[in-house]
Amino acid sequence: MSIELAILIWLVIGVGITAGVFLVARTAVQMATVAYRVIEKEMDRKTATRQTGLLSLAMLVALVATALVAGYAIFTLFASLLDTSGVLNGR
């Protein structure tokens, strides 16, 4: 694998983690907006419940996706460190 390809892969992993964190934060802000609209009587409870459920599901999906991307990055990093140190080959 060339250095350029390795850098590109790590860049994509970093962008994936950043996007996941952004989606989680944005979803939390949207949930707060729904709560505010209910408090101010701009939205009924049924609509708020449906929107909150969908936003919770979106947050859960974003968290799982971010955890998978971050887990892959950690696994790859430790595997490459162990491989270069010779621990995995019995050296």
Helix (H, G, I), strand (E, B) or coil at 50: helix
pLDDT for res 67: 94
| Residue 20 covered by a domain | no
| Residue 6 covered by a domain | no
Q: What is the DSSP string of 19-52?
A: HHHHHHHHHHHHHHHHHHHHHTTSS-HHHHHHHH
Q: Give me the sign of the Cα torsion angle 47, 53, 59, 62.
A: negative
Flag whether pLDDT at 90 surpasses 70.
no
Name residue 67's amino acid: A
d(CA 64, CA 1): 29
| Residue 42 covered by a domain | yes
| Residue 79 covered by a domain | no
> First-to-last CA distance in the chain?
23
| Residue 82 covered by a domain | no
Report pLDDT digits (tens) over 8-56: 888 998 999 999 999 999 999 999 999 999 999 999 999 999 999 999 9
Q: How many domains does the chain have?
A: 1
| Residue 37 covered by a domain | yes
| Residue 56 covered by a domain | yes
Report pLDDT digits (tens) over 52-88: 999 999 999 999 999 999 998 888 888 877 777 776 6
Query: Which residue segment(s) compose the domain that 46 sits in?
Result: 25-74
pTM above 0.95, yes or no: no
| Residue 7 covered by a domain | no
